[in-house]
Each structure stands twice: as structure tokens, then as C-alpha cells.
Structure 1
Amino acid sequence: MNAAITPTRAEPVEAPLFLPALPGGVTRLAPALLLLVLFAALLGVAVGSAAIPPGRVLAALAGRGDDIERAILVELRVPRVLLGLAVGAMLGLGGAALQGYLRNPLAEPSVLGASNGAALGAVIALYFGLAQAWPWVLPLLAIAGALATLALLFTLAGRSESPLTLILAGIAVSTLAGAGISLALNLSPNPFAAMEIMTWLLGSLEDRSFRHVLLALPCIGVGIVLLAGQGRALDALTLGEDGAAALGVDLAATRRRLLLGVAIGVGGAVAVSGAIGFVGLIVPHLIRPLTDRSPSALLWPSALAGAALLVLADVAVRVIPTTSELRLGVVTAFLGVPVFLAHLMRERRLW
């Protein structure tokens, strides 16, 4: 009598950090998104409070023309656009990766507390006056806050690989960081310090320089590399933890890379832009109908769309007529609420 043949469990394998092969939906969508990113970048350089004709813009970027116009374009607008592209790409990619990993359509970097942790680190630098004495302390403490949040998240979640455990731990960590921010505002030594903290928390790319670009890009680059290479693992997780493990996905390694990517990338982004919400929530929902809806097909398109969306939102805050420039976080919040409500109503109909 033949012995019963039992299926064997595949040995866990780690997904590569970077996957050069892109899903078919991505290759079809990429040219349109790249053109949108290019259009947003050109618009971000050309549009501002100081009207500069296109011909003089090109002359200034080529190193000719008026010195004041060249200073406005090269020292103010170009760094602002570069940061908008980098921060938007990181937030969009982070939202797509977390929605795929947690199988939660409302997930974004703030769900795991990374955004609030980075914000708390920056608020500490502002509260104690460290940012005025040493400007580089602000981004460093923001990144340290995001990493500390990650460490606490790992401690609370323990060895659990359940998305629900991570979400609950993330909510606890995010609430704790938010309480720290509120405490700093409540005990602020003077109203000017409180105003500075509130202004930073609203999010903005105003008055950013190449120094901020150099501080943020390494962290954002590391975050993008860690997140963008997890497409196969995220596709396998659509079958559940057991199904993904049977296909050979190392769940612990996947979780480690995703959380590190979110913490480092979002920490670097928040350090220079302040707290900008809803980009990670909006972008995947806008891109998903244009793809095959698999998590891997959302990653790179979400990065490109996030970059374009944030730069276009930053252009909007410059051209909307107000007595003082609107904060970028306010605009993205107004864009994100309708998407959130639309998804909520759709889910309500399914109930």
C-alpha cells in the first residue's frame, strides 16, 4: 500500500530588495505618469508669486538672465519642486505598500505612527530651541522619532505577524506621539514657540533649500528601495499569511523591510516638509482602477502619482489668493477627505 503523500511546506525565502521587472499594467501606465510628473515639475518651477516669463525662466536656469530671477528659480523653486517630488513619491509608495501588506484600503504611513513619531521628534527640536541653534538637528530628531516609533511598534507587536496586531500597535504608538505633541503645545514657554510648532505641523515646502534636499534624499531613497522591492511578497499576501508562507514568503523579513522602509523614508520626508497627510491614502485609490489591482502593480505608479500630486498641490498653495500662503498639509487634507468619504460610502453599501 502506498504511503500517503503529504504536501511539504516551502522553505521561506526573502524577496529581493529591488525587482527590475515591472508588471504589465505598470509599463502601460508609466509613460503617462512620467509625463504628468514632468508637467508638474515644470509648472512648479515656472509658477510662483513672482511672475517670470517662460523665456526668462529658461535663461535663468541656463545660468543667464537677471540675477534676482535666477536666485528665485534656482535657490527657491527648484529645491521646492525636488522636495515635492521626493516627499510625494515616498508618501504615495508608503501608502500603497501598507495597503497591500495590511490588506486595509485605508492604511497609510500614519497608521503605524511613523508620521506622528517623526513630527514629535521635530517638535522636540522646536520646543527646546535646538532647531534655531543648529538647523540640522530638526531633520535628525524627526528621523530619530520615526525610528523610535518603529522600535516601540516592534516591542508592542512582538513576534506576531498579524496585520491587525500591527494596526492596533500602530494606533497606540501614534496616539502616544500625538499626546506628546499636544503636551509640547500646552507647555510651550511662549506663544511664538507654539505658533512655530503649529505652523510646522500643518506641513509646507516654503523656504526650503538644497540643504533640505540633501538631508531628505538619502532617507527617502533608502525607504523607496526597501518598499519597492516587496511586490511579489505583497501579491502573495493577498492569499493570507498561511498562503504566502506556503509560497515561500518570509513574513518576518517582509514585515521588517516594510516597517523600516516606512520609518526611514517617512521620517526623512516629514523632517523637511512637516506633517503632510492623506497623500498615502489618496494616491493608491486613484491609481488602483488603472491597474490590475494587484499590490505589486500599485507600487511604482503610486510613487509617480504621489510625486505629481504633491507638486501640483504645492503649486495650488502658491496661486490661491490669500493674505498668507496656505499650508500644504491643509490642501492635501481637503483633497483626502472626499476620497475617504467615497470609499466609506462604497463599503457601507457592501454591508
Structure 2
Amino acid sequence: MEALTTRAIELKGRGARQRLLVPGLAVLVCVLFLLSLGVGPVFLPFHAVVDGLLGTGDEAARLIVREIRLPRAILSVAIGFSLGLAGASLQGLLRNPLASPSLFGAPSAAAFGAVLVIAFGVFDALSFFLPMAAMLGALLSVGLLLLIAGPRASLLVIILAGLAISSLAGAATSLALNLAPNPFAALEIAFWLLGSLEDRSMQHVWIALPFIIAGSLLLFVDGAAFRALTLGEDAAASLGIRLNRVRLRVVLGVALAVGGGVAVAGTIGFVGLVAPHLVRPMVRNDPARLMWPAALAGAALLTAADVLVRTIPAQNEIKVGVVTALIGAPLFIVLVFRHRRSLTGEVS
């Protein structure tokens, strides 16, 4: 009887944590968003940030907040959100915790589209035409993926086709970098590939946001399908899940959401892989309940990394893609060791 009471208390506490998880993460994202508006070469206190947002107060503070830091903060939240959501969706679709948004080749193709126009000197890295070229690359990769795999391809065929496209786009990006017409173009390409939110404007926000929103809406549709897939594809099909449509929506959703982020910020790694793992134990490994927490965790992780790069003393600002890799890789190793210990405990 005492054991049952203890178990009931434990389940009640776990349920309370699950109910508080999404609101808590949302509050964390809001706090980091406001912090992002205040942190930089010129530190602004909270009241100056609020006055800048409202268009009152000092003109210099208003210019810094609205024109320089607000687009950057919006992009960090939106891109982190899309990466976390894409990672959770792919891990739910594939039933594999190692799945990441780069799996279907859209991020690599988007990067190649941007690199191509930089290499040929058509646009520079801050031109708002560059994200359009990157987004076009992501959409073309989806069309090529569906063309190679066919309309009724199995998930394995889609994955193999995606890996082939990703490898091809990566090789083409390296070739474009190698054939850059001058050292300045090569340096600009290299810096863009590291991933950064520096000097982004509201034009970049308006270019990326529609694709990120459209892709996120497509991914949110299939939460129930991911839960059914935990029983296996045959069981999910018997429950009325149309697997071909689910796969198509996930591929398109990832391409739009992640491609939109890559188009304006370059390549940002590990967020989509790590964010779902940070919150998965709190939702009892339910892929449907994982989606919102993973998306918010991704937004918090990228925004925190972008705040961090502005506080590190350096001659040139460190690229946020470098920081996410430096944070994400050790964090992922810790999660692997924790998972291994839990498996060892279960076996023993």
C-alpha cells in the first residue's frame, strides 16, 4: 500500500512538471528575448529596452533596440524554434533519437544556394536577395528528393535520397568555396557558413518568417501520427495514419522551416539535435507532447547562445553557429552517458 501511495505521488508530481513545462519554457524564452535586446557593445537597462520598443525615450536607445537588436532577437527565437521542432518531428517520424534537421538535405541545399551567389559575386552576405537564393535551393532539394524517391517511396528510400542530396550539396558548396574568384569571396563564404545573426535587418525577418511559420504549421499537424508510429508502421497504418502523407508533410515542413532559418543565418548545428533531448524525459518520451517543449527549448538555446556571443570579449564577434556547436556537442555527450547509465541500471 505504501509503495502504491509513493508511486501515485511520483506520478502526480511528474504530471505537474509536464503541465508547467511549456509555460516555464515560454517564460524563459521571453526573458532571453528581452535580455537579447539589452545586451551588446552598449548595454541597455530594462527600462531603456522597454522605452525603445515603445518608441519613447532616448533616440539612440530606440535606434539600437528597434533597428539593430530586435530583428536579431526575433530571428534567434524563430530559427531556434524551427530547429527544435524539426528535430522533434524527425525523431518522432523515424523513431530515432539521433535524427537531425539536416537529414533530408534541405539545409545543405539552402547553404549551397547562398554560397553560389556569393561565389559569383551576385550578392554579398547581407543582401536580402541572398536568403531568396538559399530558400530556392531548399525548395529545389525537396523537389529533387521527391523526384528521386518517387511518390510512394518507403521511409528508407527517402532517407537515402536525402543523404545523397545532402552530400551532393555539401560537395558542391566545398567546390564553390574552392573556386571562389578571390580571397575576399572565399572569406565571406566561410564566415557565412559558420552561422551568424549579426547585422540582420527586418527585411531578413520578413523573408524568413513566412517560411518558418508555414513549415512549423505543417510539422505540428502530425503529433498524433508520431505517437501512433511508436507502435510501428503497420500498427500506425491500421489506426488510419496515412504514412505517405505524413512523410511528405514532414519533408516539406523541415525544408520550409529549417531552410528559412539557414537562408538568413547560415548553418547552425546541434540545436535541432540537442533541444528534443533536453526535454524528452519530462514528457515521458511521448513524441506528440515533445513538439512544443522541444521547439521552445530550441528557441531558448539559440537565443542564449546569441546573447553569449555578444558578451565574450573578442576583436570580432564569435559566430553563433560556433557557439551552438561548442555547447551542443558536450551537452549531447553528457546526455549519451546519462542514457547509457540508465540502460546499465535497467539491465543490472
Following TM superposition, by how much is the alpha carbon of 1:27 offset from its aligned partner in structure 2, in angstroms? 4.1
Following TM superposition, by how much is the alpha carbon of 1:160 offset from its aligned partner in structure 2, in angstroms? 5.5
**What SS is found at the alignment partner of 1:65?**
coil
Letter in 1 for 2:227: D
1:1-351 to 2 correspondences below 5 Å: 27-132=19-124, 135-159=127-151, 162-345=154-337
- Per the normalisation by structure 1, the TM-score is 0.88
The change in CA–CA distance for 1:134 and 1:317 in structure 2 (over 3 A counts) is closer
- Per the normalisation by structure 2, the TM-score is 0.89
In structure 2, what is the Cα distance between the partners aligned to 1:28 and 1:166? 37
More deviation, 305-314/153-162? 153-162
Following TM superposition, by how much is the alpha carbon of 1:199 offset from its aligned partner in structure 2, in angstroms? 0.6
In structure 1, what is the Cα distance between the partners aligned to 2:230 and 2:92? 8
Following TM superposition, by how much is the alpha carbon of 1:133 offset from its aligned partner in structure 2, in angstroms? 11
Letter in 1 for 2:222: Q
Following TM superposition, by how much is the alpha carbon of 1:256 offset from its aligned partner in structure 2, in angstroms? 0.7
Give the gaps of 5 or more residues in structure 2. 1-14
1:164-183 Cα offsets, whole Å, 9 max, x none, are: 33332222111110000000
The change in CA–CA distance for 1:175 and 1:347 in structure 2 (over 3 A counts) is farther
1:149-199 Cα offsets, whole Å, 9 max, x none, are: 112222333356543333322221111100000000110000000000011
Letter in 2 for 1:324: N
1:289-335 Cα offsets, whole Å, 9 max, x none, are: 11121110111111111111111110000001111100010011112
In structure 1, what is the Cα distance between the partners aligned to 2:94 and 2:233? 11
Letter in 2 for 1:208: R
* Contact 1:125/1:137, CA 8 A, preserved across alignment: no
The change in CA–CA distance for 1:102 and 1:316 in structure 2 (over 3 A counts) is same
**What SS is found at the alignment partner of 1:86?**
helix
In structure 2, what is the Cα distance between the partners aligned to 1:29 and 1:217? 25
Higher relative contact order (CA 8 A, sep 6+): 1
1:251-277 Cα offsets, whole Å, 9 max, x none, are: 011011100001111111111111101
Count residues in correspondence.
Answer: 329
CA RMSD across the alignment: 2.1
The change in CA–CA distance for 1:252 and 1:59 in structure 2 (over 3 A counts) is same
* Contact 1:313/1:331, CA 8 A, preserved across alignment: yes
* Contact 1:25/1:292, CA 8 A, preserved across alignment: no
More deviation, 245-254/341-350? 341-350
Following TM superposition, by how much is the alpha carbon of 1:148 offset from its aligned partner in structure 2, in angstroms? 1.5
Give the gaps of 5 or more residues in structure 1. 1-22
Letter in 2 for 1:204: S
* Contact 1:26/1:300, CA 8 A, preserved across alignment: no
Following TM superposition, by how much is the alpha carbon of 1:24 offset from its aligned partner in structure 2, in angstroms? 9.1
* Contact 2:82/2:257, CA 8 A, preserved across alignment: yes
Looking at secondary structure, tell me which structure has more helix per residue.
Answer: 2
1:204-258 Cα offsets, whole Å, 9 max, x none, are: 1111111111111100000010001110111111111111101100001101110
More deviation, 266-275/146-155? 146-155
